[in-house]
Structure 1
């Protein structure tokens, strides 16, 4: 399954980069995250509780950041398991500056198994985009708060 999501924020790439790579900020912004612990350089153990129809449960896994090109792009690799199945994903995050704002694009390639896979690709894409909108809304609010 491939997911592509973009959002434009009124901050410089450097400000967004710093927030996206701060584990404390990420633990506050990611939907359902209960644990976001550093286990190595740019590597985190994550536990999230997701309350989505048909795939409700607690999922644990690892997220790793690599191939960083500050402040324009980096890649994420993650995998997680829970009682409802498993998921693996690779995401390319790109930041493009323009006119006092930055376009953030997330392009993901994901695979899922177990009950999660039974939900269907179209529904999973909708859920993923909804979670991305929530995340970027929380990021915008976080950055507004840090400017005051």
Structure 2
């Protein structure tokens, strides 16, 4: 199954690029991610908890960043094993295009599953994979975009429950 989409992120291309390489940002953006350790060069070990239909599983696996063209594109790939639930693997080719006052992030993602999860049927799996990709890139966009000028100060934004809004920007401080 293949998914493609693009997002216009209201942030400088360098901020967007730095965020996609930051393990803290990735951990915050991966739905159900309980831990993410490692580095860009060697890959990340991840623990992700997910529920697909009636099947709940904790997946342990590897996330790799490859085919890196600084500031322009990279590939994110991951593979996880969820015990009796099965396995999941997939990846996304991600590109970054500078636009006036923003960065266009475009991705083409692909996912495959096996084991008990695969028995749920392609409609459930396809819907779930699309939801996960959308959630990851929505969280990523929120993490790197600057708060709108008319919004409350950063402390109020943090207190308002929008914990990921501008998170990466505040991290850089």
* TM-score computed with the length of structure 1 as normaliser: 0.87
Q: Which moved more, 1:62-71 or 1:132-141?
A: 132-141
> What is the match of residue 47 of structure 1?
47
Larger Rg: 2
**Counterpart contact for 2:10–2:101, Cα < 8 Å:** yes
Following TM superposition, by how much is the alpha carbon of 1:69 offset from its aligned partner in structure 2, in angstroms?
0.6
1:15 to 1:3, Cα distance in 2 relative to 1, 3 A? same
Following TM superposition, by how much is the alpha carbon of 1:16 offset from its aligned partner in structure 2, in angstroms?
0.9
The correspondence of residues 80-91 of structure 1 with structure 2, limited to 5 A, is 80-83=80-83, 84-91=85-92
User: How far, CA to CA, are the matches of 1:110 and 1:102 in structure 2?
Assistant: 25
Following TM superposition, by how much is the alpha carbon of 1:99 offset from its aligned partner in structure 2, in angstroms?
2.1
User: How far, CA to CA, are the matches of 1:90 and 1:138 in structure 2?
Assistant: 17
Following TM superposition, by how much is the alpha carbon of 1:39 offset from its aligned partner in structure 2, in angstroms?
6.1
Following TM superposition, by how much is the alpha carbon of 1:98 offset from its aligned partner in structure 2, in angstroms?
1.6
> What is the match of residue 70 of structure 2?
70
Structural RMSD (CA)? 2.0
**Counterpart contact for 2:10–2:102, Cα < 8 Å:** yes
Q: What number of residue pairs does the alignment pair up?
A: 148
Structure 2: gaps of 5 or more residues? 147-165
Q: Which moved more, 1:44-53 or 1:130-139?
A: 130-139
> What is the match of residue 129 of structure 1?
130
> What is the match of residue 15 of structure 2?
15
Structure 1: gaps of 5 or more residues? none
User: How far, CA to CA, are the matches of 1:65 and 1:102 in structure 2?
Assistant: 20
**Structure number having the greater strand percentage:** 1
Following TM superposition, by how much is the alpha carbon of 1:6 offset from its aligned partner in structure 2, in angstroms?
2.2
* TM-score computed with the length of structure 2 as normaliser: 0.76
**Counterpart contact for 2:21–2:40, Cα < 8 Å:** no
